[in-house]
């Protein structure tokens, strides 16, 4: 991974499929001096993703497959619900990271909170990790635990975890770039 030297920010693309709360949060942090990345491109797997509104709001380009042209050095998957091709992963080896709503290696894939509650787990959480061709299996960058209370259902748990996601995603980017 290219490290950030001096004031120059690392150009980053964020991939989304949904409402984009992680995207919005990363944009917010990217504007702070201490965070060495800028968000230069938003890529969505669907034109229906609510998160695309942030393209207009923050004047960030949203297009597909122009990563090279935009000199993108880092790709952040943020609720991106498609599996990337092996070819793409190879091309951006070591430069794609993802946030996943579980304490990996536990609960790869979908419905992580439902599984954690059903299994009577005491903790849930989220993980930022490098993306490899094996689903949710790359090296872990940061992870944060959340206590599951007896009152939690998967909605309340996902809200609690999302709050932690918004803390660890920018921190993880900072960690790998500085
Ligand atoms: C987040 O909880 C993220 O961890 C999860 O989707 C949500 C997206 O929310 N990602 C995955 O499940 C990836 N397999 P957002 O659109 O508000 O950032």
What architecture (CATH level 2) is domain 10-177? 3-Layer(aba) Sandwich (3.40)
For residue 137, cis peptide bond before it (omega within 30 degrees of 0): no
Parallel, antiparallel, or unpaired: how do β-strands 74-77 and 37-44 relate?
A: unpaired
Predicted confidence at residue 70, as pLDDT, reads 78
100 classed as catalytic: yes
Distance 98 CA to ligand 1 centre (A): 9
DSSP 3-state of 162: helix
Predicted confidence at residue 4, as pLDDT, reads 64
The CA-based angle 143-148-150, given to 5 degrees, is 175
Supply the residue whose CA is at minimum distance from atom 14 of ligand 1: 100
Distance 118 CA to ligand 1 centre (A): 20
pLDDT along the chain (178 residues), means of 10: 75 95 98 96 89 96 73 94 89 94 98 98 98 96 98 98 98 96
With the most atoms of ligand 1 within 8 angstroms of its CB, the residue from 101, 105, 126, 167 to mutate is 101
Residue 62 CB: number of other CB atoms within 10 A? 18
Supply the residue whose CA is at minimum distance from atom 17 of ligand 1: 21
Predicted confidence at residue 91, as pLDDT, reads 84
Residues 6+ apart with CB under 8 A from 113: 101, 102, 124, 154, 157, 158, 161
Tokens of 7: 């004031």
Residues 6+ apart with CB under 8 A from 137: 104, 105, 108, 129
Predicted confidence at residue 87, as pLDDT, reads 86
Q: What pTM was computed for the model?
A: 0.90
Distance 34 CA to ligand 1 centre (A): 25
For ligand 1, whether the C-beta of 100 sits within 6 Å is yes
Which residue in this structure is represented by tokens 């965070």?
35
Q: Structural domain boundaries of the chain?
A: 10-177
């Amino acid at each position: 991974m290219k490290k950030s030297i001096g004031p120059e920010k690392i150009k980053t693309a964020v991939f989304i499929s949904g409402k984009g709360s992680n995207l919005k949060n990363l944009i917010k942090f990217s504007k702070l001096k201490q965070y060495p990345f800028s968000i230069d491109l938003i890529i969505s797997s669907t034109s229906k993703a609510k998160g695309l509104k942030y393209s207009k709001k923050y004047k960030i380009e949203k297009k597909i497959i122009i990563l090279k042209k935009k000199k993108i050095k880092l790709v952040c998957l943020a609720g991106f619900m498609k599996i990337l091709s092996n070819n793409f992963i190879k091309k951006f080896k070591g430069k794609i990271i993802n946030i996943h709503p579980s304490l990996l290696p536990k609960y790869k894939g979908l419905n992580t909170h439902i599984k954690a509650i059903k299994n009577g787990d005491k903790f849930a959480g989220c993980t930022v990790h490098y993306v490899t061709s094996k689903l949710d299996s790359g090296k872990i960058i940061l992870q944060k635990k959340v206590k599951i209370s007896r009152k939690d259902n998967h909605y309340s748990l996902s809200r609690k975890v999302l709050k932690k996601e918004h803390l660890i995603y920018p921190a993880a980017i900072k960690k790998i770039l500085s």
